[in-house]
Amino acid sequence: MIEILKAILFGVVEGVTEWLPISSTGHMILLNEFVTLDVSPEFWEMFLVVIQLGAIMAVVLLFWNKIFPFRFGRKPVVRKDVFSLWFKILTACIPAAVIGLAFDDVLDALFYNPWCVAVALIVFGIAFIVIENRNKNASPKITELSGITYQTALMIGVFQLLAAVFPGTSRSGATIVGALMIGVSRTVAAEFTFFLAIPVMLGASLLKIVKFGFAFTGEEAAILLVGMASAFLVSVIVIRFLLSYIRKHDFKAFGWYRIALGALVLLYFAVA
C-alpha cells in the first residue's frame, strides 16, 4: 500500500511538471531523494518514462476534436487539415527520434545526473525571461496551428532535441522556447507542444518497455498503472490551467521558478 501511495505522488508530480515548462525530470530526481520507490533500478528507469503515457491520454481527451482526422456520421469526412497537422508533428519528431534511438543509453549515462539537470533548469529559465522580454512589444507571426509550416515544425523539433540530450531542459520548455523565438504565439506554441508529446512519449515509452521486458510482477504492474492514472487526472487539470494562464500572462514566472529550482538542486547535492 505504501508503494501505491508513492506511485500516486509520482503521478501527481509528473502530471504537473510534464506540461508546465519546468522539467518533470528535475522534479522527479529531487522527489526521488526523499520518496524512493522500493523497486529495481531497471523498473525505476522504465517507470520514469512510461508514467508519461497517463499524461498523454489527458491530451488525447482534451484535444480529441483537434487531433482526430475523421468525422463519422451520415457523411464521413476526412479532415485534411488534421492530417497536415500530424505530418508536421511527425516532422518535428525526426531530430529527437534519430538522436534518441541512436544514443539513448549514452546520453542517459553522460547527462542523467543532478548537476546537468540543475544547469539545464537554470539556463532555460534564463532563456524564458530573455525571450519574453524581447517579445514584450512584438506581435507573434503565427497565431493559428494552421500557420505552422514544415520548416517551422522542424525548427521546433531541433529545440526538442535539446530536451532529448539534456535532462532537465524540459521537453515542453524547449519546444515552447523554440516556438516563441521564431514568432509563434504562446497559445499555439503550447498546443503544438501538447500534440508533439503524443508520438514522442509513445515512442519513448515503447522503447523503455521493450528494454525492460513484459515480465511485470503484480506489484510492478499496479505501481505503473496507478502512477499513470494519477498523472492522467492531474494532467487534465494542469493543461486547462496552463491554457487559461497564458492567455493573460507570459512564461517569465516559469523562468524564475526554473532558476530557483536549479539553484536548489545544486545546493542540495553540493551539501548532501
188-229: pLDDT as tens digits? 999 999 999 999 888 888 888 998 988 889 899 999 999 999
Phi, psi of 14 (to 5 degrees): -60, -45
Pick from 64, 55, 60: nearest CA to 19: 55
Residue 136 pLDDT grade (very low, low, confident, very high; cuts 50, 70, 90): confident
Lowest-pLDDT range of 66-75, 106-115, 237-246: 106-115
Residue 272 pLDDT grade (very low, low, confident, very high; cuts 50, 70, 90): confident
Residues 156 and 65: their CA atoms lie apart, in Å, by: 23
pLDDT in tens, 87-102: 999 999 998 878 766 6
Q: What is the pTM of this model?
A: 0.89
Output the pLDDT for position 105.
67
Residues 29 and 7: their CA atoms lie apart, in Å, by: 14
DSSP 8-state class, residue 153:
H
H-helix or E-strand spanning residue 70: strand 70-71
Which of 65-68's residues contact partners 24+ apart within 8 Å by CB, and which partners?
66/145, 66/191, 66/195, 67/195, 67/198
pLDDT in tens, 246-264: 989 999 999 999 999 999 8
240-253 per-residue burial string, b: 16 or more CB within 10 A, e: under 16: eebbebbeeebbbe
Residues 191 and 67: their CA atoms lie apart, in Å, by: 11
Residues 185 and 36: their CA atoms lie apart, in Å, by: 39
Give the residue numbers spanning the domain of 217.
2-271
Look at the block and give the residue holding cell 542523467.
Answer: 112
Residue 206, SS3? helix
Number of domains into which the chain is organized = 1
Output the pLDDT for position 104.
66
Cβ atoms of 126 and 173 closer than 8 Å: no
Over 90: is that where the pLDDT of 235 sits? yes
Output the pLDDT for position 120.
87
Lowest-pLDDT range of 15-24, 26-35, 81-90: 26-35
